[in-house]
Amino acid sequence: MADRKIRVLIAKPGLDGHDRGAKVIARALRDAGMEVIYTGLRQTPEMIAEAALQEDVDVIGMSILSGAHLVLVPKVIDTVRKSGLTDVGFFVGGIIPEEDVAVLKAAGVNAVYGPGTSTVTVIEDVKSFSRAA
């Protein structure tokens, strides 16, 4: 039986050590039937891009609470695309000021989630912007 699973990379770029949110999202996506590659804390954009490439993921989710999202996220997207993965979706979770959301979306992020976002929303979104959809 050919079974196309949605593969999602959950990454924590940068230096903050709070991965509760990342784990909640990873678990929710798992429970929605997806295969979630969890890479752990303190990932560089190069590490994230390398993992995404080797794992051939559909979607990359980044959790950032350090405030460095405007630096890290465009760098990750750029590095991922340069590696040849041009059709992956991106989402960002964390404490993202309203005015930065548009900037991130312009950089290629499909969705940005703040505190209180329902996991149902995330699941539906991830399905919609994954290649497998």
Partner 1 sequence: MRSFESPSAANKLALSRLISEVENETSAGKAALDECFTRSGRAHLIGVTGAPGTGKSSLVNRLAQLIRREGKQTVAIVAIDPSSPFTGGAILGDRVRMRDLSGDPGVFIRSMASRGELGGLARATAGVVQVLDAAGYDLILIETVGAGQSEVDIARLAHTTIVVESPGMGDDIQAIKAGILEIADILVVNKADRPGIENTERALRANLELGYSHRVNGKAGHAGFTENNAAVEPKDWVPPVIKTIATEESGFPELIKAIADHRDYLQNSGLLAQRVRERLMDEFEHLLRHTLVQNWRAQTSTERVSQVMDAVFTRKRSPASAVEELTRSLN
Q: Using the rule CB under 8 A, is 55 a contact of partner 1? A: yes
Smallest gap from residue 31 Cβ to partner 1 (A): 5
**# binding residues, partner 1 (CB under 8 A):** 30
DSSP H helices, the chain, are 20-31, 45-55, 69-82, 98-106, 119-128
Compare residues 2 and 106 and give the one whose CB is closer to partner 1.
2
Closest to 4 in 3D by CA, of 133, 100, 114: 133
From CA 7, how far away is CA 10, in angstroms rounded? 10
Q: Which of 53, 101, 103, 107 lies at the binding interface for partner 1 (CB under 8 A)?
A: 53
54 forms part of the interface with partner 1 (CB under 8 A): yes
- Within a 10 A sphere around the Cβ of 84, how many other Cβ atoms? 9
The binding site for partner 1 (CB under 8 A) comprises 1-5, 26-27, 29-40, 46-47, 50-51, 53-56, 83-85
